[in-house]
Amino acid sequence: MSINEKEITDDLFLPADSENGTEAISRPTITYWAEVWKRFRKNKAAFIGLILISIILALAIFGPYANEHGYDEQNLTRANLPPKIPILEQVSWLGVSGTDIQGIDRYKESGITEYFWFGTDNLGRDLWTRVWEGTRISLYIAILAALIDLIIGVVYGGISAYYGGRIDNIMQRIVEILVGIPSLIVVILLILVLQPGIISITLAMVITGWVGMARIVRGQILKLKEQEYVLASRTLGAKDRRLIWKHLIPNTMGPIIITTMFTIPTAIFTEAFLSFIGLGLQPPIASLGTLINDGYKLLRIYPHMLAFSSIIISLIMISFNLIGDGLRDALDPKMRK
Amino acid sequence: MEKILEVKDLQVSFDTYAGEVKAVRGVSFHLNKGEILAIVGESGSGKSVTSKSLMKLIPNPPGRITGGEIIFKGDNLVNFTEKQMQKIRGSDISMIFQDPMTSLNPTMTVGNQIIESIIKHQKQSKHQAKDKAIKLLEMVGIPNPEKRLSSYPHQFSGGMRQRVVIAMAISCNPKVLIADEPTTALDVTIQAQILELLRNLQKRMETSIIFITHDLGVVANIADRVAVMYAGKIVEIGKVEEIFYNPQHPYTWGLLGAMPNLNEDSEELITIPGSPPNLLNPPNGDAFAERNQYAMKIDYQLEPPMFKVSETHFAATWLLHEKSPKIIPPDTLRKHRQVSAIEKQKDRLAKKREKLLEVKNLKQYFSSGSNVVKAVDGINFDIYKGETFGLVGESGCGKSTTGRTIIRLYEATDGEVLYNNVNIHDKRVSGDLQKLNQNIQMIFQDPYSSLNPRQTVADIIAEGMDIHGLASSKKERLGKVYELLETVGLNREHANRYPHEFSGGQRQRIGIARALAVDPEFIIADEPISALDVSIQAQVVNLMKKLQKEKGLTYLFIAHDLSMVKYISDRIGVMYKGKIVELAESEELYQNPLHAYTKSLLSAIPLPDPDTEKIRKRIKFDESLFWNGEGEEPILREVKEGHWVSCTEQDFQSIKKQFNAV
């Protein structure tokens, strides 16, 4: 055929030494978590999300201490001041030069020399302090709610699926009843009974919130417990505890993490929504929700009151989604190349 | 002969994140009018991709045809637009897919699905189309076609569904029929029926068929010509007799040698070491060189061309070059190998005396609501120390349930399982149970779901040791893992990898290592090889045999593949509808089957031997003859030493008489 006969010399037909030694060189031994971290870092979007969350978290913790103003410190002489930031005030289009939308420098007018980075609200409270105080409270509520959701959901769903049969049947009927009641009604009733506050809002969200997690975990475990590796472990004599912790939970990790990461922004939003309709935190306590609620009334005149809190709430939601996505991939050894 | 389809240097690639995967790398063949061409190869060899690209059914992206020609009726199909192809598909070339469960639309009646394609391609009226559909259903052997026309797919059994799919495929009298593993998802007896049907239809309609399969037995049964594919290339092509009796390519030798033959008896199966190459970076030269024990230097440098063996027989291996040393293919490939089976039998008889496991009237019912499924319905058998007991039957006969009930994955409904004369289903004390779990182990079917994807291989293998506290230190644990990995033919380096990095055969080895970690005496192997390729199957079976010899293991080998069971087992039990219908020494069962079901099962297994396949008659098993709860219940009776058959008193006497006469 097309191959040149001259190229084919006799010695080419000698038996080849087996050139295939060991199949592949082994990779260096690193622990599972080191590897997870390595994979997570490779995912740019998730990594940016992590950085964003870290910055927001740091500001939420230390931000309020950046000036002497308290979150509830009112002073009507400095009400409705637009934001003013040193150095950046030179850049006119940024809108942080202390002038309002009519082009009047409010700081000069009120004779205030101090810089309010995010401006002040209609009661003259420093918005920088209030925004970060609010972020802190919102994050606190959200993470607390997500954690409780996670624990109740995983335990409930896990027990329901693992033991199955009648137990599963009863537990699922309870879940159905909970799902059937509109959560808003539960929340309203609860807040009427308890004093509106951080704990009661968290409780209100958790009471119905864990159902989603429980259903997801139940579905996963129902599927997994028929997998042959679980059967193999049982034939090796493994007890329930081992099966659940070594086989079932690790393999449910992906959906659990995703659900949790979605619960956090949803919880922030629910809290904001509750505050917005007036069932949430009561003044003077700030949360991202109450800030938005206060800000939107004056949106046309003082857009800064709404802008900062909404930007932060958006950033938090995007970052958590990105992190959740990256974390799911990072925790899965199948993504190892 | 008239060439109806010609493929020239076809190349198909898939774009993946990792790069371009060359799934088909220059395939050339032709299809004559009225012949059946079989394409065989292991998974990943590109056989399915080739057949799908003939109809341009490759999903694009990621797949694309990167070169070559497909000549059909003088036109090159590669250049056809999607619109032109739609006219060809179904009318000129049609396809039968592997899984009849998914290739029919579950929300449309079977009749409408057939009528639809007739109306579309043949421009007939609805009434005519309906008549034709009835005729078609009758042709493919579906009883009461008029009535069945308005049934939905779920109302048919698997075999019947595949018949409907065939009826749809032939509805427009296609010139070429492509059957992509049409029988792989079916039981052997159903497979035999479908193969028969395809052969008859082919004769009647003079269609040409391209038959894709991995089963050499099926090839021998149905094909006129065979193309063997490896790593995206055809390595050997020729008439079926030429391929089976005069194979030239070492890969074909390996494939043929890896299949145990029911008629013969050999000590060890030939295996092809290693696994197929990664087509992301296909190797230089001959892709098979890595696994070829006859590899020469040239194999690593140049790709072999197609050497002509005869007018119809071509093979791509440098061994056929005039300068290459003459190599005699392995003994086992000679046409009629003769090994004395008697000696081996004696050997086996000598060692089995001590009962290890006794199953007494074991029952396992599953109930869902008022519906009771009798998965295992009162079975009895004994397993002796050091033997391999094979349990065969078709899907749904309860063989896997039996295995799982013995190891107590399910609580038995009734009956006893005595292990070393102790009833294991009585034990409630957890210490005893632990001990039992250490003695009895299980190997699972699916190498993909039987290993926890989130554990390293070391943790998977060591799980048993952790549970039973067999390793006192981390060092000892790791040392044992290394030892086990080497026992099953893997490397130490594999210990800290994850399961997804391994191929199916390697995963199955890991599964075996896990079972061995607790030093069991008795292993239940639940279809351990049915998910693997032929050459890999042989590797695993050889490994199991080796381990049995070294460690004195006892196996309960559950499978539906009778030829493999016969090869590995000392005694075989045949199960049907939750009962054992026949139980005998494997040689005896094969030579002298007594129960009608066993006979039909044996006759349905295609053998990798075209000469016997051609003259073989299939025995049909009439289901209505099976005991339906009326009259005398047939029970297992010993008709001859070690040979038990399920029969009534009357049958028993007549069989006895027969034996006495002989």
Q: Between A85 and B352, whose confidence is greater?
A: A85
Average pLDDT over residues B61-90: 86
Within 8 A of B442 by CB-CB distance, chain A residues are 231-232, 235
Residue A20 contacts B where some CB pair is shorter than 8 Å: yes
* Distance between CA atoms of residues A250 and A154, nearest Å: 12
> What is the largest distance, in Å, between two alpha-carbon atoms of chain B?
79
B263: confidence class by pLDDT, cuts 50, 70, 90: low
Name every chain A residue with its beta carbon within 8 A of the beta carbon of B438: 237
CB contact under 8 A, A336 and B441: no
**Six token digits for residue B266:** 């050999």
Nearest CA in chain A to B516: A236
- Tell me whether B464 touches chain A (CB under 8 Å): yes
Contact A233 B463 (CB under 8 A): yes
pLDDT of the residue at A20: 44
Strands B388-392 and B554-559: parallel
Q: Does A39 touch chain B (CB under 8 A)?
A: no
Residues B616-638 have pLDDT tens digits of 777 777 776 676 666 667 778 88
**Is residue B327 within 8 angstroms of chain A, CB to CB?**
no
Domain locations in chain A?
56-69+132-335
A76 lies within 8 A of chain B by CB: no
Chain A, 214 to 243: residues with Cβ < 8 Å from chain B are 227-229, 231-238, 242
Percentage of chain B beyond pLDDT 90 is 9
Q: How confident is the model at residue B264 (pLDDT cuts 50, 70, 90)?
A: low
Contact between chains at B450 and A229 (C-beta distance less than 8 A): yes
Contact criterion met (CB < 8 Å) for B453 and A251 = yes
Note whether A251 contacts B274, CB cutoff 8 Å: no
Q: Give Cα A145 distance to the centre of its chain.
A: 11
**Distance in angstroms (rounded) separating the CA atoms of residues B240 and B219:** 8
- pLDDT higher than threshold 50 for residue B387: yes
Contact between chains at A237 and B464 (C-beta distance less than 8 A):
yes
Angle at B447 between CA B442 and CA B453, to 5 degrees: 105
CB contact under 8 A, B296 and A15: yes
Higher pLDDT, A24 or B171: B171
Q: Which residues of chain B from 217 to 276 reach within 8 Å of chain A, CB to CB?
A: 274
| Nearest-neighbour CA in chain B from A246: distance (Å) | 9
A-B CB pairs within 8 A amount to 128
User: Of B288, B297, B516, which to mutate for an interface test with A (greatest number of A Cβ within 10 Å)?
Assistant: B297
Q: What is the pLDDT of residue A21?
A: 41
| B308: contact with A, CB 8 A cutoff | no
On chain B, the residues whose CB falls within 8 A of the CB of A8 are: 298, 302, 321, 323
pLDDT, position B628: 67
Which pLDDT belongs to residue B346?
A: 47
CB B417 within 8 A of CB B501: no
Distance CA B20, CA B464 (A): 41
With contacts defined as CB-CB under 8 Å, which chain A residues touch B463? Answer: 233, 236, 238, 246
10 Å CB burial of residue B183 (0-12, 13-18, 19+) is buried
Cβ contact A12–B450 (<8 Å): no
CB contact under 8 A, A232 and B290: no
Least CB-CB distance to A236: which of B302, B463, B498?
B463
Which helix H or strand E contains B392, and what residues bound it? strand B388-392
A303 prior amide bond cis, ω within 30? no
pLDDT beyond 60 at B336: no
* Cβ-based neighbours of B419, under 8 Å, separated by 6 or more: B356, B357, B436, B439, B440, B522
B300 to A19: CB separation less than 8 angstroms, yes or no: yes
Query: A305-314, B263-272, B320-329, B371-380: which range is least confident on average?
Result: B263-272
Query: Tokens representing A280?
Result: 């949430």
**Among A242-256, B202-216, B336-350, which is the least confidently predicted range?**
B336-350
- Alpha carbons B412 and B54: distance in angstroms, whole number: 52
Q: Which helix (H) or strand (E) element contains residue B3?
A: strand B3-16
Residue B369 touches partner A, C-beta closer than 8 Å: no
Q: What is the mean pLDDT of chain B?
A: 83
Question: Which chain B residue has its CA at the smallest distance from A254's CA?
Answer: B454
CA B220 to CA B239: how far, in whole Å? 10
Q: Are B455 and B478 within 8 A, CB to CB?
A: no
Q: Do A237 and B467 touch (CB under 8 A)?
A: yes
User: What was the pLDDT predicted at B347?
Assistant: 54
The ipTM, to two decimals, is: 0.77
B300 and A253: CB-CB below 8 Å?
Answer: no
Contact, B107 vs B192, CB < 8 A? no
Most confident of A103-112, B282-291, B428-437: B282-291
Q: Determine whether the interchain pair B500/A333 forms a contact, defined as Cβ–Cβ distance below 8 Å.
A: yes
Instruction: Determine the Cα–Cα distance for residues B237 and B316; give it in Å rounded to an integer.
Output: 9
Closest Cα of chain A to B299: distance in Å?
A: 8
Which residue from B290, B441, B451 is facing A20, i.e. has the nearest CB? B290
In this predicted structure, the answer to whether residue A113 has a pLDDT above a threshold of 80 is: no
Chain B residues in contact with A7 (beta carbon < 8 A):
302
Q: Could you give all domains of chain B from N- to C-terminal order, each with its CATH number?
A: 3-320 (3.40.50.300), 342-592 (3.40.50.300)
Let me know: does B531 contact B447? Beta carbons within 8 Å: yes
Q: How far is A4 from chain B (nearest CA, A)?
A: 11
Look at B302 and A8 and tell me if their CB atoms are within 8 Å. Answer: yes
Cβ–Cβ gap A16/B295 under 8 Å: yes
pLDDT at B648: 78
The CATH number of A56-69+132-335, from 1.10.3720.10, 3.10.110.10, 3.30.300.90, 1.10.10.970, is: 1.10.3720.10
